[in-house]
């Protein structure tokens, strides 16, 4: 057993069908005053409906959350929370909405009640991200960790297949990265492996049988473990590439994670054989060298987009992306070179089946 340090993140989790009915009582229990309901423009109607249901517990609605949390949106959200005298926020939605709640908490300390409606996992991490002038910056601060998280699979039965699939793969990517993190430890590794197993066995059904509550529950359970895993350990190459592609090229967050994770898994297989071996085991394949292919095949099974070109990236962007991703690299078990990352991005751009790089 290698020496390790394990830090448990605080937080309250409520899991199960129908648990969204507890939002009002959980806001009262937080004892932080009225709540500002946050949403994206597309979820504005649902946010106003929740605000109406909360009555005097609601301070109002701010429905301008967008992906990658532009600094301008964060400032507008902070101003809205102050103007409406909100003491806390409710983030009902995916990573964009929860990311905005974190930006508000980072600046003001206002606690968060998170009710995820995707499988992003951000609700379980103390990680925040802000994008300014095309560059996404991330950091960690316990202030942004939601005070309470309500996981209700009933809220995800209307999640379209084209969102469900990439969102689930985003969660798997968190688990994969946690297994070979610089500060990985056996507790988090158990959680990460179980997260991959839970999502791997359920995601295709969640995509193809939209109202399958059992599949939705398993995928949501895996996403919880994924977020908790990512929140407890550091990030590596996969997240650096995704932050680069999302923040600097405005590519959709979950779809980028979906496309990139098989290639980073292949890239790190020989440098982290035990970690990638656990990925393989969780996905039901025998050898660590097969893990990247299993992830690629799962992407195919759920009908995900398989190439960066499908997301709107151009071949001319690849050099810039490689430069940004290798300028200030995150820790990674295999050394990072500009040439190797440029080659990885080219494979992801064209959607070639990943090969373990010797």
List pLDDT tens digits, range 1-24. 678 888 778 889 999 999 999 999
Residues of the chain above pLDDT 70, percent: 99
Residue 44 domain-assigned (yes or no): yes
Structural domain ending residue among the three candidates 156, 187, 217? 156
Contact in structure between 241 and 341 (CB atoms under 8 Å): yes
Residue 355 domain-assigned (yes or no): no
If asked whether residues 147 and 176 sit together in one domain, one would say: no
pTM of the model: 0.89
Please give the Cα distance from 195 to 288 (Å, whole number): 17
If asked whether residues 186 and 325 sit together in one domain, one would say: yes
Contact in structure between 326 and 344 (CB atoms under 8 Å): no
Determine the average pLDDT of the residues in 206-230: 94
Confidence band, pLDDT 50/70/90 cuts, at residue 329: confident
Residue 4 domain-assigned (yes or no): no
If asked whether residues 255 and 295 sit together in one domain, one would say: yes
Q: Is the dihedral of CA 165, 171, 176, 182 positive or negative?
A: positive
If asked whether residues 343 and 295 sit together in one domain, one would say: yes
Q: Is the dihedral of CA 177, 312, 119, 57 positive or negative?
A: positive
Consecutive H or E run containing 116: strand 112-116
Residue 7 domain-assigned (yes or no): no
Please give the Cα distance from 13 to 266 (Å, whole number): 34
Task: Please identify which residue in the block is written with the tokens 């500002």.
Answer: 36
**How many separate domains does the chain show?**
2
pLDDT at 358: 53
Residue 358 domain-assigned (yes or no): no
Nearest to 332 by CA among 231, 234, 186, 190: 234
| SS3 sequence of 170-235 | HHHHHHHHHHCCCCCCHHHHHHHHHHHHHHHHHHHHHHHCCCCHHHHHHHHHHHHHHHHHHHHCCC
pLDDT digits (tens, 9 = 90+) for 255-304: 999 999 999 999 999 999 999 999 999 999 999 999 999 999 999 999 99
If asked whether residues 224 and 332 sit together in one domain, one would say: yes
pLDDT at 308 over 70: yes
pLDDT at 216: 96
Determine the average pLDDT of the residues in 142-169: 94
If asked whether residues 23 and 108 sit together in one domain, one would say: yes
pLDDT at 188: 95
Please give the Cα distance from 188 to 225 (Å, whole number): 9
If asked whether residues 94 and 80 sit together in one domain, one would say: yes
CATH number of the structural domain spanning residue 56:
3.40.50.1970
Determine the average pLDDT of the residues in 73-102: 95
If asked whether residues 52 and 148 sit together in one domain, one would say: yes
pLDDT at 123 over 60: yes
If asked whether residues 61 and 142 sit together in one domain, one would say: yes
If asked whether residues 189 and 246 sit together in one domain, one would say: yes
pLDDT at 61: 97
Consecutive H or E run containing 89: strand 88-93
Please give the Cα distance from 152 to 13 (Å, whole number): 11
Structural domain ending residue among the three candidates 109, 129, 156? 156
Residue 3 domain-assigned (yes or no): no
If asked whether residues 103 and 222 sit together in one domain, one would say: no
Residues 6+ apart with CB under 8 A from 247: 68, 129, 131, 134, 135, 136
If asked whether residues 187 and 79 sit together in one domain, one would say: no
Strand duo 58-62 + 35-38: pairing: parallel
pLDDT, mean over the chain:
94
| Domain coverage including residue 335 | 161-350
Residue 301 domain-assigned (yes or no): yes
CATH number of the structural domain spanning residue 289:
1.20.1090.10
Total Cβ atoms within 10 A of residue 274: 11
């Amino acid at each position: 057993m290698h020496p390790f340090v394990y830090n448990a993140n605080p937080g309250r989790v409520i899991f199960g069908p129908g648990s969204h009915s507890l939002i009002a009582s959980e806001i009262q229990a937080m004892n932080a005053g009225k709540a500002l309901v946050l949403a994206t423009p597309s979820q504005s109607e649902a946010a106003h409906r929740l605000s109406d249901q909360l009555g005097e517990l609601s301070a109002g609605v701010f429905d301008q959350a967008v992906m990658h949390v532009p600094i301008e949106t964060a400032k507008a959200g902070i101003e809205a929370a102050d103007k409406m005298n909100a003491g806390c926020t409710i983030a009902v939605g995916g990573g964009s909405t929860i990311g905005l709640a974190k930006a508000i908490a980072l600046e003001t300390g206002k606690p968060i009640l998170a009710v995820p409606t995707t499988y992003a996992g951000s609700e379980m991490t103390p990680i925040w991200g802000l994008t300014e002038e095309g560059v996404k910056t991330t950091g960690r601060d316990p202030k942004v960790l939601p005070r309470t998280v309500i996981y209700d699979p009933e809220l995800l039965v209307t999640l379209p297949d084209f969102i469900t699939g990439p969102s689930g793969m985003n969660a798997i990517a968190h688990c994969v990265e946690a297994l070979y993190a610089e500060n990985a430890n056996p507790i988090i590794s158990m959680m990460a492996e179980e997260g991959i197993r839970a999502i791997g066995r359920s995601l295709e059904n969640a995509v193809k049988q939209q109202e399958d509550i059992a599949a939705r529950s398993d995928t949501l359970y895996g996403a919880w473990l994924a977020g908790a895993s990512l929140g407890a350990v550091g990030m590596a190459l996969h997240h650096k590439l995704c932050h680069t592609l999302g923040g600097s090229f405005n590519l959709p967050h979950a779809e980028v994670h979906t496309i990139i994770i098989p290639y980073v898994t292949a890239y790190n297989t020989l440098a982290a054989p035990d970690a990638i071996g656990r990925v393989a085991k969780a996905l039901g394949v025998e050898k660590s060298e097969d893990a990247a292919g299993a992830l690629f095949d799962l992407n195919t099974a759920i009908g995900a987009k398989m190439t960066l070109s499908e997301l709107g990236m151009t071949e001319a962007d690849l050099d810039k992306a490689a430069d940004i991703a290798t300028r200030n690299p995150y820790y990674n078990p295999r050394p990072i070179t500009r040439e190797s990352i440029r080659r990885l991005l080219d494979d992801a751009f064209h959607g070639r089946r990943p090969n373990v790089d010797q």
